Amino acid sequence: MMLLKKQDRSTGRFIIFLPPDIFMSAYIIEITLKKNLFDAFGNEILHSIRELGIDGIEKIYVYDVYKVYGDVDISTVRKIGRELLLDSVSQTMKVYRFDSKRKCKNPCVEVWYLPGVSDPVALTAMKGIRDLGIKNQLNINCGKRYEFIGKKLNRKTLETISTKILANTLIHQFIIKGI
């Protein structure tokens, strides 16, 4: 661990501190099916949306998203994704630095557990991270991202889809992006 030293000009004393982002690094691991594979889950969601009487959506891409944060760097996050979360035969993975203002190129909805709600996938992932020999102080949150391709998409339609199909609002929060 790297400590930084800075001299206080008024007293002449040195202050030793941790870099501000050493414990606050956050990354997203995004996993989805390879392009040539049929997405049964996305297709089932599309069918449910049509049953609600909502038309104009042509396709839905479904992503498993994991927010990894704490005392972690991108190479450790890639290792977690590659060795623990990814099925390299049927899935692809992207890892990038978390940015809450990151835009989706198409309208999308992210669904995450509410703070304080137990996330069983995250608990299992933390055990797997420890089994990989990673001892860093880090946490992980698990969610889903649904990317919508189509016409007639607006915030109200995505809110309806989110509350009726994608999220249980007692335990989940949803974030609409790209609209």
pLDDT value for 24: 67
> pLDDT tens, 131-177?
999 999 999 999 999 999 998 899 999 999 999 999 999 999 999 99
Q: Which pLDDT tens digit goes with each residue over 87-140? A: 999 999 999 999 867 777 899 999 999 999 999 999 999 999 999 999 999 999
Q: How far apart are CA 105 and CA 134, in angstroms?
A: 34
Following CA atoms 166, 47, 59, 122 in sequence, which dihedral angle do they give, to the nearest 10 degrees?
30
* DSSP label at residue 162: I
Residue 11: inside a domain: no
d(CA 108, CA 65): 13
SS3 54: coil
Is 3 among the domain residues? no
Angle at CA of residue 101, ends 96 and 104, nearest 5°: 70
Residue 5, domain member (yes or no): no
Does residue 24 sit within a domain?
Answer: yes
Residue 1 placed within a domain: no
Residue 7 lies in a domain: no
Round to whole Å and give the CA distance between 85 and 64: 9
Q: Helix, strand, coil % (nearest 5) of the chain? A: 25, 35, 40
Please check the confidence at residue 55 and state whether its pLDDT lies above 50.
yes
pLDDT per residue over 29-45, tens digit each? Answer: 999 999 999 999 999 99
Contact, 141 vs 123, CB < 8 A? no
CATH code for the domain of 102: 3.30.1280.10
For the cut 80, the answer to whether the pLDDT of residue 73 exceeds it is: yes
- According to DSSP, the residues that pair with 167 across neighbouring strands are none
Count: domains in the chain: 1
Range of the structural domain that residue 44 is part of: 19-177
Residue whose token pair is 């997405």: 39
137 domain residue, yes or no: yes
Question: Do residues 134 and 79 touch, judged by C-beta distance below 8 A?
Answer: yes
Q: Is residue 69 one of the residues assigned to a domain?
A: yes
